[in-house]
Amino acid sequence: LEDDRSSIQLLDVRKPEEWEGGHIPGAKHIFLGDLPGRLGELDRSRPHATYCASGYRASIAASLLKANGFEDVRNVPGSWKAWTAAGFATD
């Protein structure tokens, strides 16, 4: 995933204060609680990969996207905790 971020829209569904504490470069932030009302901001032609702190909220977000017609939806395995533990770049 780290090498293929240009084609995938990363979607961070954590709380605003979590996002401000660091996030994956290039990710779009939409808090999970706001996601149902902001689906129109997402490009349906791109694949999406959701993440949160550990994966629970990201799974909910992925299910919500799929239920609303997004076809190529993935969940970042391990989410933010795994990303940072692996030493990948953050903003």
| Residues with a known catalytic role | 52
E-strand stretches of the chain: 9-12, 28-29, 48-51, 73-75
Q: Edge-to-edge, what's the strand order for the sheet holding 28-29? A: 28-29, 9-12, 48-51, 73-75
